[in-house]
Amino acid sequence: MADQYAQSGEDKRPSEIPAIRWEEPPEGPVVVLLDQTRLPAEEVELVCTDASALVEAIRSLAVRGAPLLGIAGAYGVALAAVRGFDVDDAADALAGARPTAVNLSVGVRRARAAYRAAVAEGGDPAQGARAALAAARQLHREDAEASARMAGHGLALLDELLPGGGHRVLTHCNTGALVSGGEGTAFAVALAAHRAGRLRRLWVDETRPLLQGARLTAYEAARNGMGYTLLTDNAAGSLFAAGEVDAVLVGADRIAADGSVANKVGTYPLAVLARYHHVPFIVVAPLTTVDAQTPDGASIEVEQRPGYEVTEVSAPQAPVTGAGGGVPVAPLGTQAYNPAFDVTPPELVTAIVTEEGTISPVTAEALAEMCAGAGQGGQRS
Ligand SMILES: CSC[C@H]1O[C@H](OP(=O)(O)O)[C@H](O)[C@@H]1O
């Protein structure tokens, strides 16, 4: 299949397309985002001049994905500080933009703490702003490094679990360069397998209702020349039954202290299918996703999103009559259940891969030991 996106301008690889960057044009510093709601048809950038623009971009999923939300939150605090807005107001609004991905509040907290420390040491607000920006840039670099290390650990795990190579991997939602300062989390492992010649097939769940798989993972797989096949979420079961899945690779938005994993809705059913079919179910996430202060899965706040995301589809060529500006696919007035995430218990998780290595089996003790070893006592919003 010709790369239909190649004609959309310079054929840049996703890993070369910054999902986020800080720029300092003459008119003042800005945060530039690749608007993920416009992909794959259009590569459009959003230029944010204040934290409120970033809050809206987070809420609309123009910028999304746990690690990237942390980076965006940190840059948002720096942007507010540099432009002279109230840093605490900006930090609170950014941290509250979406509730489930702990990375967001971690990033906001790190930039705010850097600002406050600089000012407390006698620095003026400008020095505080520089400290906040330095913290955001450090988080950005750390995440890129974490992504590369997770890719290595994850590929080693796949090779260990699946001797003989030719891995057929199923993934859910989007976990590539579009969620990361680097090449992503779970997708980065699949990409490493591809580059090593050991990815036989990448099965891509479309991931209703916002289609992060169809729109974003397929886009990233195509741009990286990977052999991928898109499927509806409800087709995954028949794929397992046919013996076509060797491993499941997913990301995470929050990992509780007991090892429960909050991730895009539809992840939990995959974990149950994987267990039933004796297929490894692997979670790939940086330690900034682990929240030691959230004791278990029941304590994780799962974001509930607007019903129109379920009852409507966006179809630019069609008249839009729905509440969400889309084309209704259900009777007007239909109520919809639309949790953005679900929670998988640790006993269904074969392994958690982080930048520090692999945890298997997944226990609270092993998780705490890894966080302590990395000098991260577990994140707190
Ligand atoms: C590994 S971060 C990507 C993670 O974030 C996604 O959620 P959203 O698209 O709503 O930000 C999904 O849970 C992915 O696994």
- Same domain, yes or no: 124 and 196: no
**Which one-letter amino acid corresponds to residue 41?**
A
For residue 212, say whether it is annotated as part of any ligand binding site: yes
pLDDT of amino acid 7: 29
Query: Would you say the CB of residue 36 lies under 6 angstroms from ligand 1?
Result: no
- Same domain, yes or no: 195 and 236: yes
378 assigned to some structural domain: no
Domain, as residue range, for 54: 2-143
Strand partners, 231: 205
- Same domain, yes or no: 226 and 351: yes
Which of 103, 120, 143 lies at the terminal end of a domain, its last residue?
A: 143
Strand partners, 39: none
**Which one-letter amino acid corresponds to residue 81?**
A
- Same domain, yes or no: 130 and 262: no
- Same domain, yes or no: 216 and 353: yes
- Same domain, yes or no: 156 and 92: no
For residue 64, say whether it is annotated as part of any ligand binding site: yes
So what's the ipTM on this one?
0.98
Domain count, the chain: 2
For atom 3 of ligand 1, the residue with the nearest CA is 65
Residue 171 and residue 213 in contact, taking contact as beta carbons nearer than 8 Å: yes
* Mutation to probe ligand 1, out of 174, 283, 284 (largest number of atoms < 8 A from CB): 174
83 assigned to some structural domain: yes
pLDDT of amino acid 79: 98
88 CA to centre of ligand 1 in angstroms: 26
Specify the pTM.
Answer: 0.94
81 assigned to some structural domain: yes
173 CA to centre of ligand 1 in angstroms: 7
- Same domain, yes or no: 139 and 187: no
CATH of the domain at 120: 1.20.120.420
251 CA to centre of ligand 1 in angstroms: 7
- Same domain, yes or no: 178 and 123: no
Which residues are tagged catalytic?
Answer: 253
- Residue 252's closest CA among 158, 322, 175? 175
Which of 85, 120, 143 lies at the terminal end of a domain, its last residue?
A: 143
Residues with pLDDT less than 50, the chain: 1-11, 15, 380-381
CATH of the domain at 282: 3.40.50.10470
Query: Would you say the CB of residue 15 lies under 6 angstroms from ligand 1?
Result: no
Torsion angle (degrees, nearest 10) of CA 221, 357, 272, 160: 80
Tokens representing 119 are 């000012």
* CA-to-CA separations, 298 to 182, 338, 342, 343, 354, in angstroms, rounded: 31, 18, 10, 8, 23
Interatomic CA distance for residues 372 and 346, integer angstroms? 19
339 assigned to some structural domain: yes
pLDDT of amino acid 324: 81
Residue 33 and residue 19 in contact, taking contact as beta carbons nearer than 8 Å: yes
Residue 376 and residue 292 in contact, taking contact as beta carbons nearer than 8 Å: no
pLDDT of amino acid 123: 84
pLDDT of amino acid 2: 34
pLDDT of amino acid 71: 98
Which of 109, 125, 143 lies at the terminal end of a domain, its last residue?
A: 143
- Same domain, yes or no: 230 and 293: yes
Report residue 239: phi and psi, to 5°: -70, -45
Residue 128 and residue 78 in contact, taking contact as beta carbons nearer than 8 Å: no
Neighbour-count burial for 54-81, b at 16+ CB within 10 Å, e otherwise: bbebbeebbbbbbbbbbbbbbbbbbbbb
DSSP state of 336: -
